[in-house]
């Protein structure tokens, strides 16, 4: 039995989670399952396991490049995952090299005792050949940039001047950004309260507040009272670019977990309908609105099945924050880099087109639809909206702050997002 406060314990549990992702599991679901199975984990253990898992999965390609030169035959998935976690730890904490190796061997003994010697040998070979292996990593495209090769090539094609910065941004620890609930607080007062609590914060152009160091929401003054929410700064443009006015009828077609719906209601007194396909995620919308003291019509429905939820009264504004590859938020959900395939992008693009075509008849003449993804891939973004406008003669593109559309690439301030605004002319 490994001591719960040991690195070996955290390595073993991290390996189980990484192995689940390697076998196709969703990381969020796997993590929730681990927490439910281990309700007595202290905060330190929970944090250590999470950091090991997320850090390892963000480092896509690096561990595999090293192991190709060290393994002569495949290992069971759990031990392969343990090596990936341990190699990542060795790279990030080189001063702890021998401790990491010893603790990884103990972790292997708790998983598959008969193969602990293999783990010991591979990791010690790694230490002995560190310089040569580092050169191998740098020569491997996926290992060097920590993204799948097909992903890298797409960004090189779409952003020839910015692809390296986009990849670097996608490997960063994501920032923690806050949104002030204008119905209950203001930005100057919120900034003052955060600084009084010892938190360093800066304000961005759209009013988003970015903390220098992420903290638990319980440490945020005013969070429990609904004065602020956690929301990426890039996502906080949506409500602003909708062009909201008092009394408008507004649809948030893919609303969970409710951040953009809440922001809309904080910005203007509108009649909001929020749809979500998943009943569990629908409840999250209701919970978030309740905490903030906001009200909307929230329904569980597939927005494409218009007859099931629309009563015929048109909307003045539609927010189409559609399902996508989530390639712009992979640093928050690093399993995406491991699980996505090029054919997934085509599938998402087809679904997005279905949603846009289904929603368009529900928009009033003169109304506007804001198309949003958290993707960095053209097929889901600029090409998608161009194809939509080509299919609909009554669709007219509207500039956003003087630009035809807006593509945010992940960086130190925000995740990756795409925005396009379309007006219905008749």
Residues 6+ apart with CB under 8 A from 377: 154, 158, 325, 327, 345
333 to 93, 296, 304, 424: CA distances (angstroms): 23, 29, 26, 35
Handedness of CA 132, 138, 144, 150 (dihedral sign): negative
The pair of three-digit structure tokens given for residue 49, joined into one six-digit string: 């396991």
374 is catalytic: yes
Residue 379 is given by DSSP the state G
Beta bridge partners of 408: 417
Out of 126, 303, 324, 374, the active site residue is: 374
In 113-198, where do the E strands start and end?
Answer: 176-180
Contact in structure between 208 and 240 (CB atoms under 8 Å): no
Ramachandran category for residue 256: left, alpha or beta (phi over 0 → left; psi -120 to 50 → alpha):
beta
Helix (H) or strand (E) holding 367: strand 363-373
Element (H, E) at 353: helix 342-359
Peptide bond into 330 cis (omega under 30): no
d(CA 248, CA 108): 60
* Total count of residues recorded for the chain: 426
Enter the tokens of residue 63: 């561990």
* Assigned token pair, 231: 């929301």
Which residues, listed in sequence order, are joined to residue 407 by a DSSP beta bridge?
418
Contacts of 316 (CB under 8 A, 6+ apart): 245, 248, 249, 250, 364, 367, 368
Catalytic residues: 374
């Amino acid at each position: 039995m490994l001591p719960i406060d040991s690195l070996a314990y955290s390595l073993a549990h991290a390996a189980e989670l990484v192995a689940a992702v390697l076998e196709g599991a969703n990381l969020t679901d796997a993590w929730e399952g681990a927490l439910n199975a281990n309700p007595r984990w202290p905060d330190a253990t929970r944090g250590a396991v999470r950091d090991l898992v997320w850090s390892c999965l963000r480092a896509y390609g690096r561990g595999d490049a090293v192991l190709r030169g060290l393994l002569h035959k495949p290992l069971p998935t759990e031990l392969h995952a343990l090596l990936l976690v341990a190699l990542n730890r060795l790279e990030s904490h080189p001063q702890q090299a021998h401790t990491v190796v010893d603790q990884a061997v103990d972790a292997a003994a708790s998983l598959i005792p008969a193969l602990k010697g293999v783990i010991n040998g591979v990791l010690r070979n790694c230490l002995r050949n560190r310089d040569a292996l580092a050169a191998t990593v740098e020569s491997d495209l996926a290992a060097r940039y920590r993204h799948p090769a097909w992903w890298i090539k797409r960004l090189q094609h779409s952003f020839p001047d910015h692809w390296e910065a986009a990849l670097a941004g996608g490997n960063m620890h994501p920032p923690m950004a806050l949104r002030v609930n204008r119905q209950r607080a203001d930005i100057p007062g919120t900034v003052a309260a955060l600084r009084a609590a010892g938190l360093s914060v800066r304000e961005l152009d759209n009013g988003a507040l970015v903390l220098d160091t992420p903290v638990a929401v319980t440490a945020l003054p005013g969070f429990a009272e609904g004065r602020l929410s956690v929301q990426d700064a890039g996502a906080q443009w949506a409500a602003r670019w909708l062009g909201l006015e008092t009394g408008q009828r507004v649809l948030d077609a893919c609303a969970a977990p409710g951040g953009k719906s809440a922001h809309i209601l904080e910005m203007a007194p509108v009649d909001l309908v929020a749809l979500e396909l998943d009943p569990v995620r629908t409840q999250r919308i209701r919970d978030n609105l309740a905490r903030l003291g906001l009200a909307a019509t929230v329904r569980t429905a597939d927005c494409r099945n218009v007859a099931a939820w629309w009563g015929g009264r048109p909307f003045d504004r539609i927010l189409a924050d559609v399902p996508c590859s989530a390639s712009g938020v992979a640093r928050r959900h690093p399993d995406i880099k491991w699980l996505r395939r090029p054919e997934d992008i085509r599938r998402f693009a087809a679904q997005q087109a279905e949603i846009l075509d289904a929603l368009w008849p529900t928009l009033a003449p003169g109304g506007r639809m804001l198309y949003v993804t958290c993707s960095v891939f053209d097929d889901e973004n600029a090409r998608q909206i161009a194809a939509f406008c080509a299919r609909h003669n009554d669709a007219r593109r509207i500039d956003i702050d003087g630009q035809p559309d807006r593509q945010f690439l992940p960086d130190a301030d925000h995740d990756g997002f795409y925005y396009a605004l379309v007006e219905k002319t008749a």
